[in-house]
Structure 1
Amino acid sequence: MRLSPVRSLVVVLLAGAPVAAPVAAHAQGGVNSWPIAQQEAAVKTPLAVDRLAQLERAFTALAALAKRDPSFCTWLANTGDATSIAQEVATLNAHKGVRAALAGASMAPRDFVEVSLALAMAGMAHEARASGMRAPPPQPPPANVAFYAANQQRVDRVLALDPC
């Protein structure tokens, strides 16, 4: 069974598996296939309350898009693997509804990808540390892990906005 795009972004990364569906990282290859320098740069994107609020508005807008246009989820599931941040951004920019949803959240597609990945990796590191393990590289900054831990309930609410 294929995970929904938004849940796969964070939930699958938290479990330590490659991202299995699109949104901020596309199917099978996912983030793990991106050049390591891009992974490291994205993971270091600073997390803050205003960025989480933007992400929440973006997910809310994407959920509204999915309700208005049921073909959106099919499009999203069929967009394929992204092998770089630039390719991921180009994919998101290719859909007029996605561009509008992100613009309405005051979030550029690149910011959406980077903030989503930074949040996912901070969550993965937090969960690994809580279970006495070391998170796999690339390692997020300690401030991002602390942000995730302090805002975990809100992150869970954001993920509940899963559009597909």
Structure 2
Amino acid sequence: MATKTRTLDELFLHELSDVYSAEKQLTKALPRLARAATNSELAQAFETHLEETLGQVQRIDQIVEAKGLRLKRLKCAAMEGLVEESRELIDELEKGPILDAALVAAAQKVEHYEIATYGTLATWAKLLGHDDAMDLLLETLQEEKATDEKLTQFAKQTANAEAQAA
């Protein structure tokens, strides 16, 4: 039976393990999103985010190595659900502008989850005196916010209008 988390350090490790799982799941999902997108700009955005996500996994690896941590083997249920939702969209919607708009919305759900997670982890890292980890987590947080902003602009300027016209 698993022991209950009792300290902020243990909670930090649990959440870091969870987001590591989330990022790993995302590295498998992003190529599928890119293939499903009709708009080449959107497909490229998913491919670019895959490269960023691989860098984010490396940052978590850096934190683990620098702190001598051992990540827990767990599966992020939240990301699993978000990935499953995107899979259902791809299966249920006809390829085209409506699917593209739905993929943008699905990607933004992922970004908002990641923004919340990295913001929390950075705050905890600061409280725990893990300044090097905090810096790496804040770097990832800024990337996630930038990706969300790009998705918002794409939705406003392109995807939603194309979906409306379809």
| TM-score between the two structures when normalised by the length of structure 1 | 0.32
Q: Which protein is richer in helix relative to its size?
A: 2
Q: Which has the higher contact order (CA 8 A, sep 6+)?
A: 1
Q: Which has the larger radius of gyration?
A: 2
